[in-house]
Amino acid sequence: MLSQKMQDALNAQINAEAYSANLYLAMSAHAHSMNLEGFAHWFRKQYEEETAHMLKFVSYLLDRRGTVELKAINAPPAQWESMLAMFEATMKHEEHVTQLIHNLADQAAAERDHATSAFLQWFVSEQVEEEATVDSILQKLRTSKDSIGGLLVLDHHVGKRA
């Protein structure tokens, strides 16, 4: 059985995942308004992925006979000054989410909650992948600096995300 503290922490993570989804949907909309459909597609896929993450936490909490408590989600920003600024914000956000996941893993370990520890390992690995992917795109944006051609090539590349 989940402790109340773990249940509260998992509910907080559900809220964090919902915010992540909304953040990426806002970024997708902003990229679309910039006529960068490849980036809009990439961020839309991020939105879908974060929604799936949120649902994994919901399902896990329910499987453990916990209570899901959905809370208000803060509104994300609606605009960024550039694609580079969007990916810098994305990297900062993913690093924040990584810390949240690590905190959950630490709590599960401290409580000797082996089931939650096992569940969270997928998210620990997922965050390594998330940060690596965002860092790769961020480094390409930094390398291309203000090159419109570089931005358009990268837009085409990220638009192929399945």
Per-residue model confidence (pLDDT) at position 120: 98
Residues in contact with 107: Cβ distance below 8 Å, sequence separation at least 6, in sequence order: 5, 6, 9, 113
Longest Cα separation, the chain: 55
Amino acid 97 reads V
pLDDT digits 0-9 by tens, 65-114: 999 999 999 999 999 999 999 999 999 999 999 999 999 999 999 999 99
pLDDT digits 0-9 by tens, 83-95: 999 999 999 999 9
Pick the CATH number of 4-158 from 3.40.630.30, 1.10.4160.10, 3.40.50.720, 1.20.1260.10: 1.20.1260.10
Q: How far is CA 125 from CA 86, 98, 121, in A?
A: 24, 10, 6
- Burial tier of 143 (Cβ tally within 10 Å: 0-12, 13-18, 19+): exposed
